[in-house]
Amino acid sequence: HVCFDLGWYIESCDWLPWMEHFSNEEVFDNQVELVVRTAAMASATQLATLGCKAHTQVLMCGPRSCGKTVYMQHALDNLKITQFRQISFSFNELTTASDLQHGVDIRLEKRGRNSFGPPAGTSCIFVIDDLSLPLVGARQARRPSLSQPLELLRQFCNSAGWYDRLNPAHSFKNLQDCFAHGTLSSQHPQEDQVSERLLRHFYILGVLPDSADNLTEAFSTLLRWKYINDCYLDEVVAVTEDFARASLEIVQQVGKMLPATPAQPLRSVGVREAAKIVCSLMSMGGDAEEHELEKMVRLFVHESLRILVDRCGNEADMETATRGVELAMEQFDVLADGLSLLRSDLLFTDLLAPPEEDELVYDEVEDNERLHNVLEMGIDDFCEDSKQPKELILNAAAIEHILRISRALRPYGGSALVVGSNQSGRRSLSRIAMWMSGFAIREPLSLFGPSASGIDLKAWQKEVKHIIHEAGGKGADMPALLCSDTEIDREDICSDLSSLVALGHVPHLWEQEDMGTILEVVRDLDPLGDGGDIDSSEEEDDHSEVEKGIEGRIDTLCATYCYGRRCRAHLKVVMCISPSGDLLRVRLRQFPALTKHCTVDWFRPWPSEALTAIAEKCMAYLQLDEALSPACTGMCNHMHDSMVPLCHRWHKSEDWRHQYHTNLSSFLELIGVFLRVLTASKKELGKMKLRYEKGLQGLNALDEELQQLRKAAESFGPLVDDKRSEIADIMKDIDDQEAVTSEARRALEAEREVAKARYQQVATIKSECEADLADANTRMSDAQSAIESITANDLAEIKATRNPSNTIKKVLEIMCVMKGQKFARVREDNGVGLLNDSWAASHKIISEPTFIQWILEYDKDSLPQSIIKTVSKMLLDKDLEASKVQRSSKVLYSLFSWVHALLEYDMMSKALKPKQQALEVAEIEYSEVESQLEALAAQYQVATDGLQKQKQKLADQNALMYSLTAQQQETEGHIARAEKLLHDLGSERRLWEQRVVEISGGILRVVGDALIAAGIVVHLGAFPGQERRDALISWEQRLEQLGIQYTHGFSLHGFIRDAVNLDEWSAAGLPQDAANMQSAAIVSVSRRCALCIDPQGYASRWLKNMEKTHSLCVVDGGSPEQIIQAVTAGVVVANQPILIEGLQANSLGISLGRLLARLKEIQRLPDPFGKTACATEKPRLYITARTEHFSIAAEACHWVTMVDFSASEDCIHNQMLQALLSSLVSEHATKQRVQ
């Protein structure tokens, strides 16, 4: 051993090798972070730990990827949290002195006036990774702000403090018990980033890369411990050293064949990538006995390709990296069987684990169909939960990307860098991978500000703080932040992302109010749990001290440290960035943490199988024939593939004017335009054909109706004749019935005269009888009236008479006779003889309650003759004179008058009896006459009804006769009009039949025409007329090969009639040549914003005139800020058309992406794995460029449809003819005026 291989250990008081520092029993606590335990690591860790305990500032210096950061962090983790606190910073190009000072000041406690520091009895370490701030490039001038944080750090090291930046007096703040540790990458000889004035304050600790043998021993030890502990097969345990050495050899071989360059920073590989391969070999779950050596070899091959080959950006680099892996594997016999798997489809994932299992099993995919079904179910669940569900299309490439992104997020602090062009599916597949991995997706979707910078920085910082609180809090969801070029284009935002992937949080974002939230969260959490595994290297008996230090006197430094560890464990970041331009290269060089802490997944051009799957899924919506659907899919692929060589030839030709790029977005737009145009054309042709067919059906129906009318007209003659004969018969019957009716009427009238005479006779006799009885009836009525006036008191008064007179007795005696009351026989007063006692009988009858009622109801017509004789004899008595009776009593007089009236009535009725008998005879005769009269009347009524029925029948027949005559005349009129119409439409009928045949042929050719139209709109707009014609010829040949019918001599503006108005375009100033007309049709049909190459100003003039009535807003294309404001106020808010005139080439790219991202509220651009038929109103945004030689970034191609409006030969020829014609007309007008 040399002196550098040994270390002094106080416990043993001896110099021992550095590896003796570790115990023989290796402990790997959950493999949260893999620490490769080598001699270099042991020496660096021990020396850094000693420096911390001695309050000496240590700076680890060494080349990149040699483990400086890991060694430093491991040394700090070995310190007791009760004695040392730490604040971590990740320096990058945008780190400022304010960020560093704010991150420290907000965490330290105030100890006295202008004195700050950690809690008493503890020390605080500022951990800085690293001091060698990256530069953008040799051609960019060094920024003055790069030295600001280093100068502030030098001031702290020199004066133990710095000036208060918030205090207006800028008083000096003393930082007590604080010192700094850091790392420093080896500097380029020509760069002088860290001055000697700063380095002199640090103890420089050099860190060199470990030898291959040491790393092999360390890796194999880890693998052996894992395999033995999990009971792997002996054959797997025996080859752990081969796996470890092969990992290092592969990384070395690939790094040698693909060295990192400023243009390719992702090629930088080292021990970190080898450690990732080893970690993957340790990640196999499930039953270890099933993991045979062959499966472990397949896993090794899969992880080597995933980690190394995915960092390559093109096919050549991929092949080179694969060849490097192959060369390295050839050196190991155990990996010989894996050489054949290098170019095969190997898939490993943990997404197939059942949901009820807590432990995720990372294993090989043996059933691809099951994997596809699981992903389909996951996508369906995601679509239900997401606010904007999309119907994703799965294919082999998409499945591979989902699995790789999911795998990249699994490790501790895992983040993914997804490199791919826009509209390549990177965001959609990232969302699916994040969601299926159990992460809560967070996207800065609503953070756009009104300026050209795109995202509002304050809104971004607020959103990031919210996400960090989610990760560090007690919530069950682990957030995953998904960002894209719009965020990464901002340097300040990318700096925050760099801190997130390196530290799990952004130190300079915390404010004083956030400290209270963090303290509350940490108090509620177990410090030694997920986020607080603070002192795992200490012994068991030290844990109580740690808990006491945390829980007994919790402080801001402890809380932020535990909170940061928890955030680092839970927060995931997925960054989608485009490889086009310099953005990727610049950001990776500015922020090395992105390369260091992220796993790369590169979205390369989609294979033809993926494109075919997308096209087939979209073609399913059209329900084409089984033979036509694959042909359309093949034609779309052919169009897309044919544009690649066309673009290369165009860029290399002498007539090159501007750049055009084709990508997946073009293919998706091609399918989208094809679906939209085909659907609209089918609908339009169907309507046209239906109109003509309806017209022909109407003419055919008219023919049939004419034949029926003629038959009806012929049938009307016999009907009319029959009806006339029926009417004549009815009229004869009416005459006969009228004669019968007249005879019945005469008989009835004669009988009425007889009945009238009989009635007169009866009336005469009846009137005489009534006249004779009138006087008697009158007296009888008066007597009854007098009787009715008699009251009970009147009768009681008569009964109370003690010595009634003879008049009273005799009147009452007459009443007894009238009533038939018998008299009692009594002796006379002299006692000699018997006599009738009339008074007792009289007293009896007047005492009856019904006496008066009996009188009133007395039957005057049935008076017995005996009573009449007796009463008449009794009335001859002189005591019954009327005057005497009247004087004796009013009541008696009333009774007396009633008796007289009754006798008189009886006498009168007997005298009138002969007349009454004559009256009865007359009435009988009259009733017989009436009966005869009724019989005659009935006979007359029957005759009259019969006559009326005959007359009604005659009226009905006459009406029917009139109706038949009217129908006959109407039918004859219809026949005349139909014959005239058919004669007039004879030529139109032939024309309509010809049009139906033509439209039917057009329907058969509409699929091919729609394919050509979509190809022209999407691909050929950027090229001049000749290149368009050449491409059309090749496409037509391919259509014939595929058996797809099309229209020869196809014209875009003739095919798309609903969006074309040639007369209006010509009046708006558009040249009438075919090329410009086609370009205008492309602008009208395309759903994307039109970028018009307009050196002569044709497009600007045409667009201004066409949109004049819609308040077109014209914006200068040289000001991005003005463009953003105009688009925001015009298109997004007021739906106003915008013309960006004279756009400069350098304004395209991400800026244009930000601009068009503002239009998402109006139009959702095609999603590569969503429904290609987007649908909302097209935003009227037009862009023109005045230069012919216009360059456009590949990323901008998916936002716009480039259309060439340059003057062609036909256009110039037409303009010359128009100028000549105008000159001749003007000259002729001048001559006319002179004459």
Residue 551 confidence (pLDDT): 43
Rounded Cα distance, 595 and 589, in Å: 9
Cβ 895 vs Cβ 871: under 8 Å: no
Rounded Cα distance, 502 and 95, in Å:
14
Q: b/e per residue, 174-210, with b = 16+ CB within 10 A?
A: bbbbbbbbbbbbeeeeeeebbeeebeeebeebebebb
SS3 of 827-858: ECCCCCCEEEEHHHHHHHHHHCCCHHHHHHCC
CB of 146 closer than 8 Å to CB of 133: yes
For residue 78, which phi and psi values (nearest 5 degrees)?
-75, -10
| Cα–Cα distances in angstroms (integers) from residue 749 to residues 444, 927, 933, 935, in the given order | 114, 17, 9, 12
Residues 313 and 307: their CA atoms lie apart, in Å, by 13
Distance (Å) of CA 1139 to CA 737, 751, 1068, 1120: 98, 112, 16, 13
Tokens of 1059: 């969006």
Radius of gyration of the chain (CA): 61
Distance CA 314, CA 1022 (A): 26
Token code pair at residue 889? 């009593």
Q: Angle of helix 1025-1042 relative to helix 1074-1085, nearest 10 degrees?
A: 70
CA dist., res. 424 & res. 428, Å (int): 9
Measured distance between the N- and C-terminal CA atoms of the chain, rounded to whole angstroms: 121
Tokens of 105: 């000041």
Which residue carries 């200068």 as its tokens? Answer: 1116
pTM of structure: 0.69
Alpha-carbon span 1141 to 1137, nearest angstrom: 13
φ, ψ for residue 65 (rounded to 5)?
65, 30
**Looking at residue 533, what is its pLDDT?**
39
Omega of the bond leading into 130 within 30 degrees of 0 (cis): yes
User: What are φ and ψ of residue 81, in 5° steps?
Assistant: -70, -20
CB-hemisphere CA count at 13 Å for 916?
10
DSSP for 897-961, written as a single string: HHHHHHHHHHHHHHHTHHHHHHHHHHHHHHHHHHHHHHHHHHHHHHHHHHHHHHHHHHHHHHHHH
pLDDT along the chain (1235 residues), means of 10: 71 76 46 61 83 88 80 82 84 84 89 88 88 54 61 90 86 91 69 76 85 82 83 84 89 86 80 84 70 83 86 83 87 81 81 67 84 86 73 79 88 86 81 88 64 67 86 75 82 86 84 82 61 36 38 71 84 86 81 85 81 81 79 87 76 60 78 86 86 83 81 77 80 81 80 77 72 69 74 74 75 77 64 62 76 78 76 76 76 79 73 68 75 80 82 82 80 82 78 84 86 88 81 88 86 69 78 81 83 84 85 75 65 68 62 54 39 45 76 67 75 68 78 73
At 982, list the tokens: 């058919």
**SS3 annotation, 710-776:** HHHHHHHHHHHHHHHHHHHHHHHHHHHHHHHHHHHHHHHHHHHHHHHHHHHHHHHHHHHHHHHHHHH
Residue type, 393: I
Residues 632 and 629: their CA atoms lie apart, in Å, by 5
DSSP SS3 for 56: coil
Query: What does residue 107 show for φ and ψ, rounded to 5 degrees?
Result: -100, -25
Backbone φ and ψ for 883, nearest 5 degrees, come out as -70, -40
984-1015 burial: b if 16+ Cβ within 10 Å, else e: ebeeeeeebeebbeebeebbebbbbbbbbbbb
Return the pLDDT at 134.
59
Tokens 């007792």 correspond to 840
Q: Which of 458, 425, 459 is nearest to 443 (CA)?
A: 459
Residue 41 burial by Cβ neighbours in a 10 Å radius (0-12, 13-18, 19+)? buried
